[in-house]
Amino acid sequence: MVIDEGLRRVLQGARRVVALTGAGISAESGVPTFREAQDGVWDQVDPEEVATPEAFRRNPRRVWAWYAHRRQLAQQVAPNAAHRALAEWGRSLDWLQVVTQNVDGLHQRAGSGHVVELHGNIHRDRVFDGQLAADVDDLELPRFPETGAVLRPDVVWFGEQLPEGAIEQALAAVRSADLMLSVGTSAMVQPAASLPLEALERDIPVVEINAEPTPLTPVASWHLPGSAGELLPPLVRSAASG
């Protein structure tokens, strides 16, 4: 990979980096994107049928079965070269803040210590803040041991707000950074899509790594087309060679 000399200088001078990551980086590990076809009984299921508070209220067993399936998929894969490169780079910088739209925990498994999870984490549970439908048989549903409250996956469903403080933490990191990466994300889902624009407004260079062009591509400081697993490791090596 030939790295533009201007980009090389930016990489070597960066000490505070934010990496916004999306489904593309996890797809390289084998995690299907949210809307990709599933196997078996989930082939024809629209995610919006199982990823809303209303769906959980109507049929919590079905929602839990869907997420048990996706948890299994996430557990069967491993962090890839892109996850590992970000973790390695973070150890040599003042700080590297990962801001991820993914819920699979692969950044943490790769060794990244500073991760903002905008959409939660599929491997965690939290109390369901609502009432189940009156005719739901709630026996044997997962429950919080201390109170008996029904649990749900700790992910952001359609129509829900992001975890408290998540976007504020991400914005604070962007405003303190001297370089931002946008990796494997469509740059269309808000509020995450606004983060690179915030960086550009503050004259913080933005490097986009994505297989396909996105709305960010025309304004990014650099757009590197291709897979994160192939492109991030040489970028990190270039940064370390300064």
Sign of CA dihedral 105, 112, 202, 11: negative
The first and second tokens of residue 125, run together, are 């549970």
Distance CA 127, CA 155 (A): 11
Q: Provide the residue count of the chain.
A: 242
Q: Of 114, 119, 123, 223, which is the active-site residue?
A: 119
Which amino acid, one-letter code, is at 162?
L
Distance CA 47, CA 157 (A): 10
Which amino acid, one-letter code, is at 167?
I
- Is 83 assigned a catalytic role? no
Which residues are identified as catalytic?
119
